[in-house]
Amino acid sequence: MKRKFVLIGLMILLGVGAFLGYYLVIRGSTEPQVDTRDEAGAQTNRVEGVKDEVDLDSRSKEGEVLDIMNQMTHQKIKASDKWGAVEMTDEHIQQVKEVVEKSDFKHRDLLLSILNKWSAGDFSTVDEDHNKVWLLQHGNIGRAYGILSKEQEQQFIENNFEK
């Protein structure tokens, strides 16, 4: 009888251990890795895929708008990877906003709330805005983990947009 309780106890312990091991492995593999390098050069270097124009119109799909908004944030955020960049200007913000206002996008309200903040010059949560857009794009590399200083942003602009 005593042997039976020991066996049951070992089986329960083994089961709990297997569950915890599985949970930790799976959870660890699905959480995006955040590179917290704060090297100014790594954040302000030239990125591939810089665009001079927003290039959106009334036929643009929500994914195209998300892509442009994501790329607009790159001059303002710290992230482990940045692919593409569109300069965050008042004109570009307004162009994107006009497309979203006339759309029936699934995430229209969220996008407009972000664009309205940007239109008002409020970039205090631009890293969070980036991550909301990035998650809608099913991002797994390049999560923002902070906001560039004014000096870093200026360096990014000079490296990517000034001719």
Asked if residue 10 belongs to a domain, the reply is no
Phi-psi region of 83 (alpha: psi -120 to 50; beta: other; left: phi over 0): beta
Structurally, the chain folds into a number of domains equal to 1
Asked if residue 80 belongs to a domain, the reply is yes
Spatial separation of the C-alpha atoms in residues 76 and 124, rounded to whole Å: 10
In sign, the C-alpha dihedral spanning 70, 72, 73, 79 is positive
pLDDT in tens, 25-84: 665 544 444 444 445 567 888 888 899 899 999 999 999 999 999 999 999 999 988 999
pLDDT in tens, 115-157: 999 999 999 999 999 999 999 999 888 999 999 999 999 999 9
- The two three-digit tokens of residue 80, written as one number: 């482990």
Asked if residue 88 belongs to a domain, the reply is yes
What per-residue confidence (pLDDT) applies to 45? Answer: 84
- The two three-digit tokens of residue 159, written as one number: 């490296």
Asked if residue 114 belongs to a domain, the reply is yes
CA neighbor of 114 nearest in space, from 68, 55, 59: 68
What per-residue confidence (pLDDT) applies to 120? Answer: 98
Asked if residue 59 belongs to a domain, the reply is yes
CA neighbor of 91 nearest in space, from 71, 118, 64, 58: 118
Asked if residue 4 belongs to a domain, the reply is no
Q: What are phi and psi of 9, to 5 degrees?
A: -60, -45
Spatial separation of the C-alpha atoms in residues 32 and 39, rounded to whole Å: 20
Asked if residue 18 belongs to a domain, the reply is no
State if pTM tops 0.85. Answer: no
Asked if residue 7 belongs to a domain, the reply is no
How crowded is residue 115: how many other Cβ atoms within 10 Å of its Cβ? 22
Look up the domain containing 112 and give its range. 36-161
What per-residue confidence (pLDDT) applies to 66? Answer: 96
